[in-house]
Structure 1
């Protein structure tokens, strides 16, 4: 079995009573809803990576981020017919919009990479979604 370690940064973005989630296009969480975020590039500071990932996946550029915690999980999945284990480590942030104006203009289409698009969800809707462990932890306090 192949084993991989992945370090990423992820942000919980709230707008009023709604939370912004990204529909995963590929990888171990394909089809799940996740927090905006992703992998750090070589030498990139975590906060810089989060700003870049949020812009790529949502189009939001005017945000303030505050680190909340770091979590990890092991995900078992099959990649090209081969069982894989992914040790996923996430640096998790709370994200505030500096302007409500931009919230209505989020990117809803695929980014050509990891996202099928983003959407705002009310809490009662979120209970019906398949969430990644980090999204579940940040929203509900559990993995």
Structure 2
């Protein structure tokens, strides 16, 4: 796959089908409504900065990263960002697509003045934790709290 043309670009509304396809292949669930809402919010110019990216190889969308930039939300004084979803078509996994997406995302965040990027990983998702660790993510000093509504 090294000889194929890779392009990293900002996610747009026409990427919905590709995002749904990639996510469904990985998660074994079809979450079109969820991604429709996310894509609509992401590409809305009133929303914020569109931080989400797509990787194309030879014109085909094969991976994506979705994130947001925050300017002081949650009582955090500095500009921060989150990564909430990353996906790579199974046919293109283990070929550097996710790493390249994250590299581009981090370059974009640096240019936007972001000081820290956060993400959440399930404590027992060892493969994803290992991936983020290789990308220089470390455990945060913030504690993720949850409340079960019965």
TM-score calculated relative to the size of structure 2: 0.27
Greater relative contact order (CA < 8 Å, ≥ 6 in sequence): 1
Larger Rg: 2
Q: TM-score, normalised by structure 1?
A: 0.27
